[in-house]
Amino acid sequence: MTGAGTSMMTARTPSPVLFKAACPDCRGRFELASQELRLAIGRSHRTTFYSFTCPECGQAVRKPAGERIIELLTGGGVRTMRLHIC
């Protein structure tokens, strides 16, 4: 699905998708590429969240992910983990 040969003028990698994020710890605002985000999908929305490491302060941030966010993240190529919690 990924890695299709695109011939854009200067693009070495397929156009990166950036996600806006904010850190609750240092209140930094930044944009993260899809490989800097992780999405975890649990059995309910309580266990569904995305996480990233704040580039400003290094804090591991975890935020709940709604359906819309899941769609955005998966569509943007974010690595997805499926949690199997009994």
Note the residues at the interface with Zn ion (CB under 5 A).
Answer: 23, 25-26, 28, 54, 56-57, 59
30 vs 74 by CB, closer to Zn ion: 30
Residue 26 Cβ vs Zn ion, minimum distance, rounded to whole Å: 3
Pairwise CA distance, residues 14 & 27, whole Å: 30
Say if residues 53 and 59 touch (Cβ distance below 8 Å): yes
Q: Is 52 exposed, middle or buried (0-12, 13-18, 19+ CB in 10 A)?
A: buried
Of the pair 57, 83, the CB lying nearest Zn ion is at: 57
Q: Which is nearer to Zn ion, 25 or 31 (CB)?
A: 25
User: Shortest approach of Zn ion to residue 60 CB, angstroms?
Assistant: 10
Instruction: Please report how close the Cβ of residue 13 comes to Zn ion at its closest, in angstroms.
Output: 26
